Structure 1
Amino acid sequence: MNDTVSFGYEDVAPDEKTERVGAVFSNVAAKYDIMNDAMSGGMHRLWKDRFVARVKPQPGEAILDMAGGTGDIAFRMSERGAEVTVADINQDMLDVGMERALERGLTGLAWSCQNAEVLSYPSRIFDAYTIAFGIRNVTHIDRALAEAHRVLKFGGRFFCLEFSRVEWPGFKQAYDLYSHKLVPQLGKAIAGDEESYRYLVESIRRFPPMPEFERMIRAAGFTQTRVEPIMGGLVAIHSGWKT
């Protein structure tokens, strides 16, 4: 059994990864949304709109938005009438999200500090489980997927939005150059933190490619799994059902 996990391009002990990822998100929490706009040219907003459209949140549905941090996905689903619980392992990210919710006058959200690998919720209580740009930062992805499956009701649906690997020739090379060279510099200029954004770029490279991650979702017990690449695989929407 391999006793190390990836932290960017490094291989570290699982406990060390959990601690270091926590530090990364505590460092970037205050500037997280500004940096998302800067890094993606605002495209992340369109990706999130498309993601929530695929989830199809319904009024009264109980949805767990894991790694929901600053609330971007949760706000969209709450506006459609869903009863959303925003969970994140990082309290600093949750604090930013709760402040943003107050600014928008959104009071119907629940907020909870949770480890995706060991959720405190009973089994079979959520209609849907969403996680956007968070699964690659989990120490043991398989455990997080198993927990997602456990807390979903039968007939519940799993949706994950995550960066992947660009497959379009030409664009792949341009994106590699941009992400490795320019994103850390943006992090330095806007958030005062070059190293955290260097890790975030490296974590994308170490994340399983789309077919492999789909197999992991199936291995967790989900059926009717599907992968929807966006912009040649720059990001992808993964989904599955608990039957």
Structure 2
Amino acid sequence: MRFLLFILICAGLILTAESCKKECHDRSNPDCENYDPCYGKQPLTADFETFEVSIFPDNWIPYSTDTLASSDVFFRAKEENVEYEWTVGSETITTRSFTRKNFPVGVRIPITLKVKRKTDFGCFPTDSVVAQTRNIFVIDGYENSKVAGYYQGYHTNNAADTFTVCIYIPEYSMNPPHEKTTISGLMNISTCADNKINVSGSESVGYKQYTFLSQDGFCHGAWGRVRVDSAFMGHIRIDYSYLKDLTDIKSQVDKTFLGKRIN
């Protein structure tokens, strides 16, 4: 009787184990019936990112763009731990990322990346070497940044109150007097003469982004970041802050303006 009971218990354990095995559906687990040795692996890509180099990195959020306002450009391949061969003009670079300066403005410049890795015959037998060429374009003048213009919008804490903001970025000149970048209509407070933020020299202009600091503490020392929505180029977001009391860092006020281009 005990022997029969032992046999029944063993049979039950075997059936349970078989049942558990059948219920295994993890494609990354070699013990599962649906195991896929290529699961999670990706084909080799020569895609890469290009970033404007900001001279004032505070508040700057890097974003990849083929059209740039800066002639200093940071390049980075998306693929990691492979062999790299970049072609930039007559130069060859073999690192994953690098920075190059003083690209000419107003012309399309081809950038080629070739990547290589050991052939994965089981999953991707034909992609041991791939290459891609893209053009970058540096705009001729900061005034051509997508940030500049008139925008109708609102502060996110009061969407019913709509108003117009103007971002003016002057044409750059080597000779004084130098015009200042201005942001008009954003802050309706007494220390902003004519409701206008005059930006100090601490600014960074990108094709789709702009960071600023108000001049000499005016407008309660306002500082912030302007970004154009990459998916909807007519939409803008301004995240900015100021101090109610310039002597008290704890008096900081944070605001966000959302707008749509109207010019």
- Structure number having the greater strand percentage: 2
Relative CO higher for 1 or 2, CA cutoff 8 Å, sep ≥ 6? 1
Q: TM-score range by the shorter chain?
A: under 0.3
Under a length normalisation based on structure 2, what TM-score does the superposition of the two structures give? 0.25
Larger radius of gyration: 2
